[in-house]
Structure 1
Amino acid sequence: MRQLLSSLEKLNPDERERAATRFIRKLAQSDDAEESIRRQIYFALIAPGLSIIDDVIGHSMTNPSVLRESVAVKLEELLETRVMRTDGSGLDLNKVLLYSPIGWAKKLLAMSLDRITQRERMAYRKFNDQVDLLTIPDTISEISFTDSTDEFDGDLESSGLAGTRGTQRLRLGAQLLHTQLNIPQIARPELKGDRSRLLRVLREHEDVVLESLDTYHAIASGRPVWNDRDTDDDLLRLWSEFSLLDAERLLNRNPLVIVSIVEAALLQRSRPSRRDVAATKRLVKAASSQPGWSELAGSLVDAWLAEHFAPTNDFNTRSDQETAVEESNKLSKEWPRLVEAAANWPGQPIVVAGADATVVDKWLTSVLFGVQ
């Protein structure tokens, strides 16, 4: 599969289709298990170099991009279903030698394009009518881009914050503050449950977070600690990468800056687009052709997203937030078990045998970055 992907980049469109067709026909005649053959054929059909999905969609929709993305994901799901189906209504492996599998895929998707587009457009309009996309808090902008503070040197456009919202805006703004103030990153707790607990503390008692930095500074400088209450050890650990000078530099800033960079560190990461998620799943599934890996890989990515990312995309107006949160919490509970299963899978598809959650997170993050 890697050889096919690398070769497609060097070919023109016609040559790419012929190369993919030869590859698929060779797969169809192999002695591998049928499920593995069909899975690899599906991966070949959605290879970026072939651009089957984009070719079918064409220029029928250029705006909004979220609608185009939604349709593309639905088409990929349809293609996967029909390729993997073995009841006679899907891809016929015996006829792959007689007709073009690329042509078969394009015809299948083209026949369903109008129906899927209409359904997704109706859903998009329905939810956009109910949600005002402009009513999202901009905590960072209130701190960093007013004339009354000097926390950020630059304007909104040059900062990269223009066009962002929600979690993405908060995290990007916090990163800019880290850069401007020349301070290290907050030591983000590894577990979602720990992050959620500290986030609740922050939102209920901002002063406790400010006290934790002051206490950390006192401990680092060797002076007595005069807080009226014991400081949460987990809060103190947030500052573990800070030197005495770093702590002093931050303590001299607007308290809202301190609160915002801690909040940004504790929040779940901004959820990637549905198309990026789908592409990540495809690559992770392609890491091993052994039976059972594809299902495990899909579940692993879902649990990873639940453990480390927000339940919905910042621009998503379609999902029921409460339902999304419940589903995310349910999936994140499977994360430790799935990490262990993937880390010990025969053939080491995730590179490092016996890898822990941190290593698997970094590996999946690198896969995601590779498709974005």
Structure 2
Amino acid sequence: MKALVLSGGAGTRLRPITHTSAKQLVPVANKPVLFYGLEAIAAAGIREVGIIVGDTAEEIRAAVGDGSRFGLEVTYLPQAAPLGLAHAVLIARDFLGEDDFAMYLGDNFVVGGITDLVREFRATRPDARILLTKVPDPRAFGVAELDLEGRVVRLEEKPAAPRSDLALVGVYLFSPAIHQAVRAISPSPRGELEITDALQWLIDHRRTVTSTIVSGYWKDTGNVADMLEVNRSVLELLPPSNEGTVDAATEIIGRVSIGAGATVRGSRIVGPVVIGAGSTVANSYIGPSTSIAEDCRITDSEIEYSIVLSGSSVHGVGRVEASLIGRNVEITPAPPIPAAHRLVLGDHSKVQISS
């Protein structure tokens, strides 16, 4: 069995972070989201992985390399434009051959991995198996309709009037039958080859498409709110450790991981928190669900429920929360504004100014 990991796409919902960085490499608990997926694939016993790459190909290659650090053999598959999930399967045809494969969206996060799902797929051998989860607003997802016996009977991509609240999770398991399906479908009104259309083709041609409703934790980390929530959930499992230097005036509460060479002085750290290697925290409060990457500097500030990427500094800021701060950012207090009003008023004006 092989794996196909999708790491193209522009990451528009995470801009401006993704103007300069691949969305799959934005860190959760100081580790890129993509790495969690690759680790889950390796844990499931899969070794050969094709990674679909686009405009950020060089950055993905630099981070993942040949895959050996994950116990994988990685092949990079360029995609000229993000033309849909089924298009990714189409261009990966030679790599995939006649093997079964797992398709994993590189910016998705599934707690508990995919080992049990892969084992069950191998044992039952349907033509396709999809993962589903209930969502409050299915209109933003591919949506599945099940019959009374739980079989998949219909799939739609981002429907205006969803027939259910079951959204497709970004992990799919396929037999080689999917290759005929992706060649048979046409682009959707969005101009993309939709994997939902390919799955519907299998259903219409009486092929077996089964499903698993995910009872654990799944998130598409394509926006800031979900990224922060995934960061929180991962930090909850963080083992406490201290490889840095913490002075006697600092109070550490709960699960806190401090990286090598990091320094914490005169501060209060309430976990779960991770502080990356080489970072400095001084005279500050770091609250729960916060990840501070390597080589950051937090001084005379408060920060909570946030992600701070490498090389950034926060100095003299009263409070930062629910924030995603990019690399090499500087946050400082604004200069004082003079307490004066500067007006240009026409004839017969009436103005009220608060004292």
TM-score normalised according to structure 1 size: 0.21
Work out which structure has the larger RCO, using CA pairs closer than 8 Å and 6 or more positions apart in sequence. Answer: 1
Q: Which has the higher helix share?
A: 1
TM-score normalised according to structure 2 size: 0.22
